[in-house]
């Protein structure tokens, strides 16, 4: 997975919600990339009354950990999910089975708590959220 950046298209032009975050991420990679566009949906909230792109922020953090450790962001994501999130129990074909955990079902506050656990384990500080610096 990769960070998600939100933008608005108007009159055939792309306007980023947080161009600074996009530029920070783009500055951290090189080589060929694949770009896709799909309609937006509601982002996770921190629960503090202001909407934030917690998913993009999380993947930006994983990218920083990747640059410090040499482990891929995808591998880090899978490791942290297994370490800190409970598996999901689902019934499929009449049988209860255990599925890998997912961050997509976390609230904003749960996501923040999850990221704090990652920070504690990795020793790599969560960067300040750009909206906190405004």
Domain CATH for 53? 1.10.3790
Number of structural domains in the chain: 1
> Is 1 part of a structural domain of the chain?
no
Domain with 121, as residue range(s), is 7-133
Whether 55 is covered by a domain: the verdict is yes
Residue 80 has pLDDT above 80, yes or no: yes
**Cα of 4 vs its chain's centroid, Å:** 7
How do residues 29-64 score in pLDDT, each as one tens digit?
Answer: 889 988 888 777 654 544 443 345 788 889 899 999
> Does residue 2 sit within a domain?
no
Between residues 18 and 40, the one the model is more confident about: 18
The answer, as to whether pTM is greater than 0.85, is no
pLDDT at 120 over 90: yes
Q: Distance between CA atoms of 107 and 103, rounded to whole angstroms? A: 9
Give a yes or no: residue 18 inside a domain.
Answer: yes
């Amino acid at each position: 997975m990769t960070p998600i950046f939100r933008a608005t298209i108007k009159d055939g032009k792309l306007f980023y919600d947080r161009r600074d975050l996009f530029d920070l991420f783009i500055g951290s990679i090189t080589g060929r990339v694949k770009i896709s566009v799909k309609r937006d949906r509601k982002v996770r909230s921190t629960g503090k009354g202001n909407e934030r792109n917690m998913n993009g922020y999380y993947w930006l953090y994983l990218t920083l950990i990747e640059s410090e450790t040499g482990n891929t962001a995808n591998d880090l994501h899978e490791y942290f999910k297994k370490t800190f999130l409970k598996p999901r129990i689902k019934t499929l074909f009449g049988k209860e089975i255990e599925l890998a955990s997912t961050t997509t079902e976390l609230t904003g506050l749960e996501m923040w708590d999850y990221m704090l656990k990652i920070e504690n384990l990795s020793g790599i500080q969560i960067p300040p959220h750009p909206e906190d610096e405004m």
